[in-house]
């Protein structure tokens, strides 16, 4: 899985996991994608910043500081979908 896809998946499920702290599947999936970022892509010092329009993921890779930006509405789509599905809110 390439870095962009892994980071998008991780950030999307991390937002869900933070909102739904008792959702064990969300917690496990968030950890799974974080492991991919760390083990497969060598990321360290991963931090999320929220601006008006974007989630900005700051990280180090190969001893260089980098970042990727993701539109808030794109990342929050998974959480909204889960919240709007009655079977996930019982």
At residue 76, the pLDDT reads 97
Question: Could you tell me if 37 and 43 are in contact, meaning their C-beta atoms sit under 8 angstroms apart?
Answer: yes
CA distance 81 to 90: 15
The domain of 64 spans: 3-88
pTM tops 0.75, yes or no: yes
Alpha helices in the chain (DSSP H): 3-19, 24-35, 72-83
Number of domains the chain contains: 1
CATH number at residue 76: 3.30.450
- Each residue's pLDDT tens digit in the chain (90 positions)? 999 999 999 999 999 999 999 999 999 999 999 999 999 999 999 999 999 999 999 999 999 999 999 999 999 999 999 888 766 665
Provide the 10 A C-beta neighbour count for residue 51.
Answer: 9
């Amino acid at each position: 899985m390439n870095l962009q896809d892994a980071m998008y998946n991780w950030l999307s499920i991390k937002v869900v996991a933070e909102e739904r702290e008792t959702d064990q599947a969300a917690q496990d999936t968030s950890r799974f994608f974080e492991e991919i970022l760390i083990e497969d892509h060598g990321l360290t010092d991963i931090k999320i910043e929220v601006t008006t329009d974007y989630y900005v993921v700051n990280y180090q890779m190969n001893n260089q500081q980098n970042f990727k930006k993701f539109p808030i509405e794109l990342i929050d789509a998974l959480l909204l979908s889960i919240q709007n599905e009655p079977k996930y809110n019982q």
